[in-house]
A = this chain, B = another copy of it.
Amino acid sequence: MQIGALKLKLQLVCGDSFALGPGKADLLEAIDREGSIAGAGRVLGMSYRRAWLLVDEMNRCFTARLVETLPGGGKARGARLSDLGRDVLAAYRELEAAAAALAETPGHARLAAALRVAPLPAAQHD
């Protein structure tokens, strides 16, 4: 997430795994819209295998599955968010909205005022 010159990344960790972050949140949203893991991967430009692995990692990090797969075979079968999946996605977006308010803090204003629009060209190493 970027607001002006401020780039913010919010991730939730679970042991050594990443439970949720910007990419997984977008994937949940795409699954909700597309109705399948394969379809969600397609609109996000990722392979079915990659999308499936991200979903599996999320599902293993929470107290219940965030994504439920529907009966059928392989890639063709549908998927949808569970109630917990829907709530977790909404809570993550709330957290992002709260984070966006950091751009309104005096600390950020001082940083933004001191930043150039573009860097000076690189100097030679001395």
Contact = CB atoms under 8 A, between A and B. Distances in A.
A56 interface: yes
Contacts of A57: 119
Interface residues of A, number: 58
A114 B84 contact: yes
A23 to B, nearest CB: 14
Interface string A104-122: 0111101100111111111
A12 interface: yes
Given A9-B8, A87-B110, A125-B49, A14 B117 contact: yes
A95 B122 contact: no
Given A10-B102, A20-B111, 5 more contacts: A7-B9, A8-B99, A62-B116, A88-B114, A98-B102
